Amino acid sequence: MLFKPAAAAALLASSAVARSVFPRASGNATRICGTPEPTEQQIAASQAMLAKEREMRAKGEFRTLRSLTVNLYFHVVASGTNVDDGYLTQQMIDDQLDVMNADYGPHGITFNLVSTDFTINANWAADGDEIAMKRALRKGTYSDLNVYLLGDLGGGLLGYCYFPDNVSTGSTEFYLDGCTVLGASVPGGSAAPYNLGGTVVHEVGHWMNLYHTFQGGCSSPGDSIDDTPAQASASSGCPVGRDSCPAAGVDPIHNYMDYSDDACYEEFTPDQEDRMYSSWSTYRS
């Protein structure tokens, strides 16, 4: 379920012990992602993908699909036409696209911006009626990425997205698909230290079927990825050297699927790349 204000406050408190090395804007104590927990069925499907990926690596085989282009639709939803109302400039949109392509590009994934639309609706801008907004604004097929940039998600929430699944075109799940992100987190926004575009990159990772690196804590199967060391809980700031689990490897604080500050983000791993392609072939191609 989504982290609404009460749960968000609890997460803020539990993450406060992690050391921060970047200046922080008032009220932004740690990153908060509202992506729903993966279901048992989704985890089982990820485990099946993992088994297949391991088999291919053991045989020295390579996946057939080496690159892909994702059609992208940005939807800016604000309460007014000023940046303080959640409205974004074209430059901010262009800069966010550049960040996405810079971070996913090394993995052969490119985003093609098809269109950007702007809607003034105070209720939608506050994430007041998700399904009505998405039914009105969503474009494209299940292979196309819709990103909704809203003025205020409430409770310190930076964004949420939905894992891919087997859905029918026109179903509620089809319309919910996509990522909802705080507009102030794009480059040039006011949500420091989360205003370099990393939130969209993180949420799109969920859309590509990546879990948080701290999924399941120190327990197996964790995030169902072999080359992300186990992590007991989300990071905050950029706590270099943090090692929260007894298994080998320090916490992957530079991974886009942790909760680190934007300036700390650096990478997806090779196995995460494989998972994105496995999931694309399974659900979105």
Maximum CA pair distance of the chain? 56
Q: Which H or E element spans position 231?
A: none
Query: Has 40 been annotated as catalytic?
Result: no
Q: Which residues partner with 109 through β-bridges? A: 68
CA 68 to chain centre: 18
Give the HSE-up count for residue 178: Cα atoms under 13 Å, Cβ half-sphere: 28
Listed residue (275, 281, 276) closest to 54, CA to CA: 275
Non-local CB neighbours of 240 within 8 Å, separated by 6+ positions: 21, 253
What is the radius of gyration, based on Cα positions, of the chain? 18
Question: CA-to-CA distance for 135 and 212, rounded, in angstroms?
Answer: 28
Q: Give buried/exposed letters for 231-244 (b at 16+ CB in 10 A, else e).
A: bebbbbbbbeebeb
Instruction: Give the pair of three-digit tokens for residue 187.
Output: 């480059």
Give me the catalytic one of 203, 266, 267, 273: 203
Which amino acid would we find at residue 72? L
> Helices in the chain by DSSP H: which ranges?
5-15, 40-59, 90-104, 122-125, 130-137, 172-176, 198-207, 270-279
Question: CA-to-CA distance for 98 and 167, rounded, in angstroms?
Answer: 30
Residues carrying an active site annotation: 203
